[in-house]
Amino acid sequence: MALPLGLLPVFVLALTVGVATVVTLGAHLLWRGWDRPFQFALQRAFFAAGVFYLGVTVVVWVVAGGSSMWEVAATILVAGVAAAVVLWTLPLLVGQRLVARFQQLDSETALRFATYGWPIAMLVVATLFVAPGGLTDGHLFSLGGPQMCLVGFCGVSRAVVAVVVLQVVVALVGPGLVGAGLYATRWDALSLDGR
């Protein structure tokens, strides 16, 4: 049994905006409550999100049943690992460097503001995924047009490739640009910076 294609936008929304928002809020609340660096709180929030993701994977594995339940579980785990690298870890590392460079901040403060900008950037990534057809009847993979072969897969639309590249660029530089903008507008005056 395969996952319904209609759930793909929901899955993407959960992997992008859902994880980014939960981890950001969790890290901020932990940081404000503890006398430890923000990075420590962020690591704990990531760990909690990872445990939750694995729990959801087990539930989907049990619900999917059938002969392909291992394939469903493996697909979800591979998607989770890919998301952890491309959508979670790299955007915050790149974002931290961008905020530090643009605003001349120490790495701790830069990481914090890159993290605050992360959910907004992930919202743009999720929007790019569902934009072709909306949440109900289409998503990124419904884009048509001229096709090409890419890494051994023929029949890949050029529009899909363009949107995927755009999503990766937004995912990687978005948190840093939004975080630098938040710092520049003194978003910290709204109690994000103070304990």
Q: Tokens 């955007």 belong to which residue?
A: 91
Classify residue 75: in a domain, yes or no: yes
Asked whether residue 54 is assigned to any structural domain, the reply reads: yes
pLDDT of residue 107: 92
Count the neighbouring beta carbons within 10 Å of the beta carbon of residue 12: 23
Confidence tier at 97 by pLDDT (50, 70, 90)? very high
Mean pLDDT of the chain: 77
> Is residue 22 a part of any domain in this protein?
yes
In a domain, 195, yes or no: no
Mean pLDDT lowest for which of 3-7, 10-14, 71-75, 130-134? 3-7
Model pLDDT, residue 95: 93
Element (H, E) at 149: strand 147-150
Identify the H or E element spanning 155.
strand 153-157
Res 100: pLDDT: 93
Quickly count: other Cβ atoms within 10 Å of residue 135's Cβ: 12
What's the domain count of the chain?
1
Q: Where does the chain have alpha helices with state H?
A: 8-13, 19-33, 38-64, 69-83, 90-103, 107-130, 134-137, 158-184
Q: Is residue 29 part of a domain?
A: yes
The answer to whether 110 touches 96, Cβ cutoff 8 Å, is: yes
Choose the most confident range, by mean pLDDT, from 27-31, 33-37, 143-147: 27-31
User: Token pair for residue 143?
Assistant: 């884009």
Q: Average pLDDT for residues 172-188, to the nearest whole number?
A: 87
Q: Which domain holds residue 165?
A: 5-190
Higher pLDDT, 142 or 163: 163
Identify the CA nearest to 115 among candidates 147, 86, 148, 93: 93
Say what the pLDDT of residue 7 is.
61
Nearest Cα neighbor of 164 from 139, 134, 137 is 139
Rounded to an integer, what distance in angstroms lies between the CA atom of residue 13 and that of residue 19? Answer: 9
Return the pLDDT at 1.
40
Paired residues of 157 in beta bridges: 147
What's the predicted TM-score (pTM) here? 0.76
Share of the chain above pLDDT 70, in %: 67
Comparing 173 with 65, the larger pLDDT belongs to 173
So what's the pLDDT on residue 178?
Answer: 94
Residue 59 has pLDDT above 60, yes or no: yes
Closest CA to 174 of 106, 86, 76, 104: 86
* Residue 178, token pair as written in the block: 């939004």
